[in-house]
Structure 1
Amino acid sequence: MFEEKASAKVNLCLQIVGQKSNGFHLLDSIVGFTEFGDHLSFEKSEKLELTVKGAFSDQIPLDNSNLVLKAAELLRTLNNIKDGAHITLTKNLPPSAGLGGGSSDAAAAIRGLTRLWEINLPALDELMKIGSDLPVCINQKTQHMKGFGEVLRIIHTFPNLPILLVNPLKKVSTQAVFNMLENKQNPPLSNYEKLFQTKKDWINWLLLQRNDLIKPALKIEPIILEVLQLISSQNSVEQVSMSGSGATCFGVFESKYDCDAAMKKVQRERPEWWSVSTEIISI
């Protein structure tokens, strides 16, 4: 049996810098991956099967729209594989939450199945057929992502950062948020020093960046503002923003102790929301 972790994908900043004639948006984003995430296991089987368990298992489709099954079928087609696999997905991340859960699961499925079937990873253009987040999710390293999601550079000096994730358990459609984005031509990320070494250096730089999708997301799900305000009220929080198209928001801390304490306060005040204290793992 093989196992893979599908980390939450967090857009620490996300700036929309253009739109092509085909409708695809051009992004400029720093993407990090957390210690916390979904879990997948893979066993040999005569046919392709998917079992889903965990806190959000009842919200995961088991038909052809499931990205894990799409990824598995893509690998079988590309490599002319007749064997199947039994995949077990433990779903710990809320779906449609701005955390790239489906794409991270699909990327983990590709990593796990290439090991199970002893094949190579597919090419970048093949990954993009499943979704634009697949390439960035394959290696789960902190990366600077541009273009449609296919232009990637690993940031080797990015530190591990304690991060509080909070979601009001409201699903937000990525497509709907992009459709409501008024300005598609926003400034790109400001230049950052490749030799930044400390958490404070990176946090100070992140504070100057944006998520251009917050404004349209608030129009669709106003409760996101309450999430941002609650995180902002926590002691020692540094950066507060929204990940992806929402509704998950986050707070970055220098200390994991402060991050854990903030999570406990959020859970006391809003026990009906989903929250977790984890870390962006880069080193």
Structure 2
Amino acid sequence: MTTRKGMQTRAELARAKVNLALHVTGVRKDGYHLLESLVVFPQIGDRLAAEPSDKLECVVEGPFANDLEGPPASNLVLKAAKLFAEITGQSDLAVKLTLSKRLPVASGIGGGSSDAATTLRLLEDFTGAYLADDQLHHLALSLGADVPVCLNAEPRIMRGIGGDLSPAPRLPKGGIVLVNPKVGVSTPEVFKALTKKDNPPMSRLPDSFESLETMVAFLKECRNDLQKPATDLCSVIGETISALQSDERVLLTRMSGSGATVFGLCDAEVSMNIERTLRAAHPQWWIASGALS
């Protein structure tokens, strides 16, 4: 671990984690589900800033700030900061963390996990206390199964319960539109409603996708095994999928994670126009667009 002096205000985008494919391949004896998933981190997310202060504190603002449940001390950002201070021996860590919550809460796109991972990266740069890779991974895993994959915010293949990570194929240039109908869906209830839990894994992935069309063709052979049980529990997810599928500019539509956020893949040049079209038709939904990676 190395340190440096001179803390300066820093800010980062805590990118959404989107499951382009999510196969449930089994269940462990302890009840944890085994997964295989291709995840990407589009240029859409929360914003996290760190600035000098006289104490360790976390302020949450933004359109979805009020949707975070529980006391401030339960916020993953503050938990990550306290664990970071403990493991780096900085009991006097004084920093104000400001989380601008722009992603819907509990929406299948890893917002909380990405916030926690971004906190760790941000505090490393802010304080100059850099952890070894294995230390950082262990610290991230202690905060949640999805936190390690969010540390570098790069396309990854996730296996097991989420901690077995490997590089994903090189992605082509493309755009993505995220849509959430602003409804809650319980992850435990979705898994409970999943009737078949030993599904086939993904086909062998290539080293790279030559084009967006090539990637879409591969993904059409994949699944999100949680999409049907989630839609059965929350019918508006199906409406969201239909709204995206009805736009001929959208090349592939699928739910991310356990829902209720749905994504649409498209050419980068039309993503913003698709977002505008959907906003006009569904002003009550949360909709965002950006580069695929």
Do they fold alike, i.e. is TM over 0.5? yes
Identify the residue that residue 147 of structure 2 maps to in structure 1: 134
More strand by share: 1
TM-score by length of 1: 0.95
Identify the residue that residue 190 of structure 1 maps to in structure 2: 203
Instruction: Note the aligned Cα RMSD (angstroms).
Output: 1.4
Report if the CA contact (8 A) 1:3-1:40 is conserved: yes
Identify the residue that residue 271 of structure 2 maps to in structure 1: 259
Residues in 1 aligned to 2:79 and 2:213: alpha-carbon distance in whole angstroms: 41
- Decide whether aligned partners of structure 1 residues 195 and 8 sit closer, same or farther in structure 2, where only a CA change above 3 A counts: closer
Describe the SS at the equivalent of 1:178.
helix
Residues in 2 aligned to 1:67 and 1:224: alpha-carbon distance in whole angstroms: 27
Unaligned runs of 5+ in 1: none
- Decide whether aligned partners of structure 1 residues 64 and 176 sit closer, same or farther in structure 2, where only a CA change above 3 A counts: farther
Residues in 2 aligned to 1:28 and 1:2: alpha-carbon distance in whole angstroms: 34
Identify the residue that residue 62 of structure 2 maps to in structure 1: 54
- Bigger shift: residues 11-20 or 111-120: 111-120
Q: How many residues align?
A: 280
Identify the residue that residue 63 of structure 1 maps to in structure 2: 72
Which one-letter code corresponds to 1:107 in the other structure? Answer: A
- Bigger shift: residues 88-97 or 187-196: 187-196
Residues in 2 aligned to 1:70 and 1:219: alpha-carbon distance in whole angstroms: 34
The answer to whether the aligner puts 1:272 opposite 2:284 as a matched pair is yes
Q: 1:17 aligns with which of 21, 25, 29?
A: 25
Report if the CA contact (8 A) 1:161-1:252 is conserved: yes
The answer to whether the aligner puts 1:115 opposite 2:134 as a matched pair is no
Residue 22 of structure 1: CA displacement? Answer: 1.2
Write out aligned runs for 1:38-117 (5 A). Answer: 38-61=46-69, 62-82=71-91, 83-117=93-127
Residues in 2 aligned to 1:193 and 1:156: alpha-carbon distance in whole angstroms: 6
Describe the SS at the equivalent of 1:35.
coil
Identify the residue that residue 3 of structure 2 maps to in structure 1: none
- Bigger shift: residues 221-230 or 118-127: 118-127
Residue 156 of structure 1: CA displacement? Answer: 5.1
Identify the residue that residue 6 of structure 2 maps to in structure 1: none
Identify the residue that residue 13 of structure 2 maps to in structure 1: 5
Which one-letter code corresponds to 1:219 in the other structure? Answer: D
Residue 272 of structure 1: CA displacement? Answer: 0.6
| Percent pairwise identity | 38
- Bigger shift: residues 109-118 or 204-213: 109-118
Q: 1:240 aligns with which of 253, 274, 293?
A: 253
TM-score by length of 2: 0.91
Report if the CA contact (8 A) 1:57-1:90 is conserved: yes
- Bigger shift: residues 119-128 or 17-26: 119-128
Unaligned runs of 5+ in 2: 1-8
